[in-house]
């Protein structure tokens, strides 16, 4: 007998987890002629391809039996040592290699944070706009999000204070350096204030530092962890300073929390890709990584400046754009009532893609905003893409029906 149409019985969490809007959009932008500012890809010309090829051959040839074997959950000791030493050198933080857990990219770090801290309905505070990958990772654990508006210098302090008092979130997740999506860097004052507010509470601060090294203006500011070492879980990544395909990141956390992360990571994947860990550790010890990072930041600085100049030349003056100090994105806002979804459709018809701001808002809103990525297009294409986008913006803003 034929079976009736199969009905798959998914877990309820699948109803609350947004599909990655970015992946859906990237499908539209795959055509080679498309000038895409929509994705979040680093500049592939800066991947140290030859160096990694040489090291990979050496690692497999020389240490293959170790580098291809199962390994420890905590991670490859030389890599943990490098990360701890870097925190000491650049951020003057007292971090030991034991404080570091190596993960398969900082996206996994966020998933582990969700697993360890979120119950169904747990209050979680997050920047508004917030990083979409974090919204997705946390949503799987069905929290209640409380959005903290992000201004030009950091999170809105009165809102954060109110949420801390009334909602008592299990954690506040933020990206103090060159935030994704907005490009905002929190000021030193803002970091101090956030740490002070958290200090009197049971709320953990989850500090995502994916872009800390990619700073092209100003000086490195103290991480939240330097104010509250026992209350901050910090995440880092090799994706932006070496290559994202290696899928390698880390968590730096107080001992008790770290042990919880180790337990859940064992259940998730036993350990992070040990071959990648060996390759990265060798790269870091054999090549001048600061020179490499300087090349990345200088290139992104040029790409960012090129985009800002092109925007000044061609966008209507009522479209507000910021001037990031680092990272890979800048943020633009049209007047209230405009729709970046509509602009997206018009731009795609001209072979230019932007990322509408809507999915970055956990409480709705943001329709007039968009994220523009500058790291993944050469300067001539940035100029051409922004010129076309400027033309579409002028046409769209002149259209009396634009807010409909």
Least Å distance between CB 22 and ligand PLP? Answer: 9
CB < 8 Å & 24+ apart, contacts of 48-56: 48/242, 48/243, 48/283, 48/287, 48/292, 51/283, 51/286, 51/287, 52/242, 52/243, 52/279, 52/283, 55/279, 55/282, 55/283, 55/286, 56/279
Q: Which is nearer to ligand PLP, 122 or 375 (CB)?
A: 375
CB of 175 to ligand PLP, least distance (A): 5
Taking 3-state DSSP, the helix, strand and coil percentages for the chain, each rounded to the nearest 5, stand at: 45, 15, 40
| 99 or 209: CB nearest ligand PLP | 209
Tell me the C-alpha distance between 256 and 123, whole Å.
21
Of 39, 75, 105, 223, which one interacts with ligand PLP (CB under 6 A)? 105
Query: How near is the Cβ of 317 to ligand PLP at its closest, in Å?
Result: 30
Cα gap 125→128, rounded to integer Å: 9
Residues 112-131 that bind ligand PLP (CB under 6 A): 131
d(C-alpha 237, C-alpha 329), whole Å: 17
The footprint of ligand PLP on residues 34-93 (CB under 6 A) is 40
Q: Which of 180, 190, 273, 375 binds ligand PLP (CB under 6 A)?
A: 180
* Closest to 32 measured CA to CA, from 381, 386, 399, 398: 381
Nearest to 246 by CA among 279, 270, 269: 279
Site residues for ligand PLP, window 3-42 (CB under 6 A)? 40
Residue at token pair 């943001």: 366
Q: Which is nearer to ligand PLP, 169 or 327 (CB)?
A: 327
Q: Which of residues 187-246 bind ligand PLP (CB under 6 A)?
A: 208, 210, 237, 239, 244
Instruction: Retrieve residue 28's tokens.
Output: 């539209």
Nearer to ligand PLP, 133 or 326 (CB): 133
Does residue 135 belong to the site contacting ligand PLP (CB under 6 A)?
no
When asked if residue 107 is in the footprint of ligand PLP (CB under 6 A), the reply is yes
Q: How far is the CB of 4 from ligand PLP (least distance, A)?
A: 41
In a 3-state reduction of DSSP, which class is residue 264?
Answer: helix
Min dist. Cβ of residue 235 to ligand PLP (A)? 7
- Tokens for 264, please give them: 């859940």
Shortest spacing between CB 375 and ligand PLP, in angstroms: 11
Consecutive H or E run containing 155:
strand 154-155
Query: Between 184 and 393, whose beta carbon lies closer to ligand PLP?
Result: 184
Interaction of residue 277 with ligand PLP, rule CB under 6 A: no
**In the complex, what is the shortest distance from the CB of residue 7 to ligand PLP, in angstroms, rounded to a whole number?**
34
Count residues binding ligand PLP (CB under 6 A).
14
* Distance of closest approach, residue 124 Cβ to ligand PLP, in angstroms: 16
CA gap 76, 286 in Å, rounded: 16
Q: Does 183 bind ligand PLP (CB under 6 A)?
A: no
Distance of alpha carbon 98 from alpha carbon 255, whole angstroms: 8
Piece of 104-112, 272-280, 335-343, 371-379 that binds ligand PLP (CB under 6 A) = 104-112
Residue nearer to ligand PLP on the CB measure, 149 or 335: 149
Nearer to ligand PLP, 103 or 231 (CB): 103
User: What are φ and ψ of residue 59, in 5° steps?
Assistant: -65, -45
Three-state SS at 18: coil
Nearer to ligand PLP, 235 or 383 (CB): 235
Tell me if 385 contacts ligand PLP by CB under 6 A: no
Residue 176, interface with ligand PLP (CB under 6 A)?
no
**Helix 77-91 vs helix 274-286: crossing angle, to nearest 10:** 50
Q: How far apart are CA 27 and CA 343, in angstroms?
A: 17
Find the residue with minimal CB distance to ligand PLP.
105
Residue number, 126 or 274, with CB nearest to ligand PLP: 126
Distance in Å, CB of 2 to ligand PLP, minimum? 45
> In the block, which residue shows the tokens 């997206």?
344
Q: How far is CA 259 from CA 88, 253, 256, in A?
A: 22, 9, 5
Q: How far is the CB of 199 from ligand PLP (least distance, A)?
A: 24
Give me the residues that bind ligand PLP (CB under 6 A), please.
40, 105-107, 131, 133, 175, 180, 208, 210, 237, 239, 244, 249
């Amino acid at each position: 007998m034929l079976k009736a149409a199969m009905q798959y019985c998914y877990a309820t969490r699948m109803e609350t987890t947004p599909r990655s809007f970015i992946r859906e959009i990237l499908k539209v932008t795959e055509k080679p002629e498309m000038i895409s500012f929509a994705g979040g890809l680093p500049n592939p010309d800066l991947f140290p391809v030859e160096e990694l090829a040489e090291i990979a051959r050496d690692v497999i040839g020389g240490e293959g039996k170790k580098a291809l074997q199962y390994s420890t959950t905590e991670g490859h000791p030389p890599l943990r040592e490098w990360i701890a030493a870097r925190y000491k050198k650049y951020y003057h933080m007292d971090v030991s290699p034991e404080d570091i857990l190596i993960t398969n990219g900082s996206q996994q770090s966020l998933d582990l944070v969700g697993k360890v801290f979120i119950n169904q309905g747990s209050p979680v505070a997050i920047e508004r706009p917030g990083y979409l990958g974090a919204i997705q990772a946390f949503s799987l654990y069905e929290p209640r999000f409380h959005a903290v508006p992000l201004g030009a210098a950091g999170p809105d302090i009165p809102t954060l204070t109110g949420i801390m008092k009334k909602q008592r979130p299990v954690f506040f997740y933020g990206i103090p350096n060159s935030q994704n999506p907005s490009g905002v860097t929190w000021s030193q004052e803002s970091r101090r204030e956030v740490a002070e507010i958290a200090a009197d509470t049971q709320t953990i601060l989850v500090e995502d530092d994916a872009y800390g090294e990619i700073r092209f203006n100003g000086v490195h500011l103290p991480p939240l962890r330097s104010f509250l070492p026992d209350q901050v879980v910090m995440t880092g990544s090799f994706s932006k300073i070496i290559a994202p395909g290696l899928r390698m990141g880390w968590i730096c956390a107080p001992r008790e929390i770290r042990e919880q992360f180790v337990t859940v990571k064992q259940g998730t994947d036993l350990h992070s890709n040990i071959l990648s860990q060996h390759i990265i550790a060798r790269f870091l010890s054999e090549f001048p990584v600061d020179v490499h990072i300087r090349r990345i930041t200088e290139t992104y600085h040029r790409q960012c400046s090129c985009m800002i100049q092109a925007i000044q030349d061609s966008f209507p003056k009522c479209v507000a754009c910021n001037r990031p100090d680092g990272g890979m994105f800048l943020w633009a806002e049209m007047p209230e009532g405009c729709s970046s979804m509509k602009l997206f459709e018009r731009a795609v018809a001209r072979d230019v893609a932007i990322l509408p701001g809507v999915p970055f808002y956990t409480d709705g809103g943001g329709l007039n905003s968009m994220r523009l990525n500058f790291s993944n297009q050469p300067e001539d294409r940035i100029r051409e893409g922004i010129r076309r986008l400027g033309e579409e913006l002028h046409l769209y803003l002149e259209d009396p029906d634009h807010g409909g």
